[in-house]
Amino acid sequence: MISGAPVATRSAFDVEQVRADFPILGSMVGGRPLVYLDNAATSQKPRAVIDAIRHYYETENANIHRGVYRLSTQATDLYEGVRARARAFLNAADDREIVFVRGTTEALNLVAQTFGRQRVGRGDEVLVSAMEHHSNIVPWQMLCEAVGAQLRVIPMYHDGTLDVDAYRRQLAGPVKLVALVHVSNSLGTINPVRGMTAAAHALGIPVVVDGAQAVPHGPVDVRDLGADFYCISGHKMFGPTGIGVLYGRLDLLETMPPYQGGGDMIRSVTFEKTTYAPPPARFEAGTPNIAGVVGLGAAFDYLAGLDWEAVQAHEANLLAHATGRLGAMEGVTLYGTAADKAPVVSFTVSGVHAHDVGTIVDRDGVAIRTGHHCTQPVMEFFGVPATARASMALYNTREDVDALATALEGVREMFA
């Protein structure tokens, strides 16, 4: 279960009813029913999201904020209404703490190049974990190289959990900022963000959290977690691609310079001087992805209507089933066996390159991810060039897991 997550209420979870909400899940791949197990890369979209985007373009399309005509004000209300839904989903304190961005990657870069440049200087340290996605490594490396700081790494154990004791010792150094993934995309580990954030805050160190893999598995309470910044991507949580949210504490956002210039991020412009709008407009330069925001709002609405206790019980059952089936197979090695995990199973098949595994199981209609999953340091830690990864979502079933296991038996037989 995602820590700090409030639980919505609705009727009991029914996976078949949920599957009916996602049109693509009825597709055939090479004559076989689609078994989609690549949700950590991108999730599928419910009809409500697809319909919301289409309806916007068919009946409500206009640019926002500056138009005085009815269609523009209607589009503006739609856009800003989603900001309020994002605030509620994340339990932020104020709508102004919600900044729309292209996704988690842009959110992290925005924080690194604004807040990070204010906070980090020569001789300082930025602390990241050993399991970070490249998007939560590279922006901090760029910052450190630019200002003469050092990037330090929180070590992890071979079960895929972080060495929290080592982390607490590292905080005693010249650390000015911690950047931490909530849920690992390649291992599924759910990190103890609340406690790690509290430890950093006790020393006055702010914390940036990559929440891209957390929000598909339940609402997140950013105030309970204590995150100073929290970054999410719409396409991971059943919404559109090219849209996401940066949550930032308002008192911090108000001190930060703009990330980009132009459009609605200004208060006034002359050739002598430009003054900037307050947050969140200060960080939303140019015409935004309005349709993407509308679709994201539909995704928030969809998720808010779920019984999350039931969903999380279902996902825990899927993870246990997948771990049991794949872990019992001869020649299959699992990576990331933390007790507290999202439904992600990374594995290798002895004597078979991960890319070959993915290609072969696709013949049975099974879609999994193969490669380094934008976590090359994780692959190096485990001494493998790549893994295959099955990542499950609320619409997956035990039968999907069984289809993967059957397809993997075919892989083993082919390479026997």
Structural domain boundaries in the chain: 15-33+307-414, 50-304
- The beta-carbon contacts of 404-408 under 8 Å, at least 24 apart in sequence, are 404/35, 404/37, 404/322, 404/325, 404/326, 404/361, 404/366, 404/368, 405/325, 405/326, 405/329, 406/364, 407/360, 407/361, 407/363, 407/364, 407/366, 408/326, 408/329, 408/332, 408/349, 408/357, 408/361
Residue 284 CA to residue 110 CA, distance in Å, equals 11
In this prediction, residue 12 carries a pLDDT of: 67
pLDDT of residue 198: 98
* pLDDT for position 13: 79
pLDDT digits (tens, 9 = 90+) for 305-327: 999 999 999 999 999 999 999 99
116 pLDDT above the threshold of 70: yes
**What is the reported pLDDT for 416?**
73
Q: What is the CATH number of domain 15-33+307-414?
A: 3.90.1150.10
pLDDT at 41 over 50: yes
For residue 73, what pLDDT is reported? 97
Spatial contact of 175 and 127, defined as CB atoms under 8 Å apart: yes
CATH number of 50-304, picked from 3.90.550.10, 3.40.640.10, 3.80.30.20, 3.40.50.10860: 3.40.640.10
Between 163-167, 250-254, 266-270, 341-345, the lowest mean confidence (pLDDT) is in 266-270
Q: Cis omega before residue 280 (within 30°)?
A: yes
E runs forming strands in 58-104: 98-101
Counting residues of the chain whose pLDDT is more than 90, the rounded percentage is 94
Q: What is the pLDDT of the chain when averaged over all its residues? A: 96
- Active-site residues: which are they? 374
Residues in the chain: 416
pTM: 0.95
Q: pLDDT digit string (tens) for 175-209?
A: 999 999 999 999 999 999 999 999 999 999 999 99
Cβ distance 107 to 244 under 8 Å?
Answer: yes
241 has which bridge partners? none
pLDDT of residue 9: 42
Q: Is 335 exposed, middle or buried (0-12, 13-18, 19+ CB in 10 A)?
A: buried
Amino acid sitting at position 28: M
**Rounded mean pLDDT of 45-58?**
98
pLDDT bin (cut points 50, 70, 90) of residue 378 is very high
pLDDT band (50, 70, 90) for residue 290: very high
Residues 346, 47: contact at Cβ < 8 Å? no
Residue 308 in tokens: 């999350």
What is the reported pLDDT for 5? Answer: 44
Under the banding of pLDDT at 50, 70 and 90, the label for residue 66 is confident
Q: Which of 221, 168, 162 has its CA nearest to residue 192?
A: 162
* β pairing state of 32-33 and 28-29: antiparallel
